[in-house]
């Protein structure tokens, strides 16, 4: 498989030239997180490791594990960690629907997830099996991700999500059924006056925190037909 090196902020990332690549969605999720020193962090369905690598780089005193079912993506993530000399992160090839980490249950402070957005059997499924598994719910849906998150989190721990805005209600129902409570939300718009395209949601395990903190929407692009990022989006995505 043909691969390339890309720089994402301070992190160098190995990814396929064709196939699954780092996305703006993952970057937005990574910037939505606030891992603290000493925290244990798990990134579910981590793909080629972008979110976990950024978390491990930003907070060297936290310990991060990335969980991914597709072997080629795990290989890329592991090699990226070595490329960046990150010793506080490792990756595990596993099916999050049958987690092998039972001995670690209830010990994580933060779980992150960018679940596949499309239901199995809907839309066009990519002929590339790696890409298909990243985009469609072939290896678990948002309910599976939510249950895995709860199994890993300590009481009071956080799970942070990025998901399609049009499926926000599916996300809310899934986290509620698993025992997670929404605490903070930020919607992402392509341009002002447009409907949200994505939603960033932080949830807590344990007691309901009460009213959800709703942050100002993030607008990605300046007005017009071009794809010029707004100043805030540039700061988030590129660290400018």
Asked if 133 and 184 touch (Cβ cutoff 8 Å), the reply is: no
Give the pLDDT confidence score for residue 133 in this predicted structure.
54
Q: Which residues contact 178 (CB under 8 A, 6 or more apart)?
A: 143, 146, 147, 149, 150
d(CA 176, CA 205): 10
Backbone dihedral region of 35: left (phi > 0), alpha (psi from -120 to 50 degrees) or beta? beta
Pairing of strands 3-8, 11-16: antiparallel
CA distance 200 to 165: 9
4 is written with which tokens? 């390339």
pLDDT band, residue 237 (cuts 50/70/90): confident
State yes or no: pLDDT of 129 exceeds 60: no
How do the domains of the chain map onto residue ranges? 3-238
pLDDT at position 17 is 80
What is the per-residue pLDDT across 15-47, written as a single tens digit (0 to 9) for each? 888 766 778 899 999 999 989 999 999 999 999
What is the rounded distance in angstroms from the CA atom of residue 233 to the CA atom of residue 93? Answer: 32
Neighbouring-strand partners of residue 148 = none
Q: What class does CATH assign to 3-238? A: alpha beta
Q: Phi-psi region for residue 121, left (φ > 0), alpha (ψ -120 to 50) or beta?
A: left
* pLDDT tens digits along 161-219: 999 999 999 999 999 999 999 999 999 999 998 999 999 999 999 989 999 999 999 99
């Amino acid at each position: 498989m043909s691969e390339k090196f890309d720089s994402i902020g301070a992190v160098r990332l190995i990814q396929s030239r064709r196939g699954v690549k780092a996305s703006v969605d993952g970057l937005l999720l990574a910037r939505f997180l606030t891992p603290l020193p000493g925290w244990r962090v798990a990134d579910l369905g981590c793909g080629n490791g972008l979110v976990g690598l950024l978390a491990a780089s930003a907070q060297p005193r936290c310990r991060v594990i990335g969980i991914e079912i597709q072997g080629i993506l795990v290989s890329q993530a592991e090699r990226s960690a070595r490329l960046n000399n990150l010793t506080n992160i490792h990756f595990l090839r596993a099916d999050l629907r049958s987690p092998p980490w039972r001995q670690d249950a209830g010990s994580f402070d933060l779980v992150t997830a960018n679940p596949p957005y499309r239901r199995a059997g809907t839309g066009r499924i990519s002929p590339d099996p790696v890409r298909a598994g990243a985009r469609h719910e072939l290896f678990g849906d948002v309910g599976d991700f939510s249950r895995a998150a709860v199994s890993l989190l300590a009481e009071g721990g956080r799970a942070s999500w990025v998901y399609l805005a049009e499926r926000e209600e599916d996300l809310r129902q899934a986290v509620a059924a698993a025992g997670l409570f929404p605490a903070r939300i930020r919607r992402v718009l392509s341009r002002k006056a447009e409907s949200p395209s994505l939603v960033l949601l932080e949830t807590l395990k344990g007691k309901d925190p009460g009213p959800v903190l709703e942050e100002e929407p993030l607008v990605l692009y300046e007005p017009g037909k071009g794809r010029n990022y707004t100043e805030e989006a540039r700061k988030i995505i590129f660290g400018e």
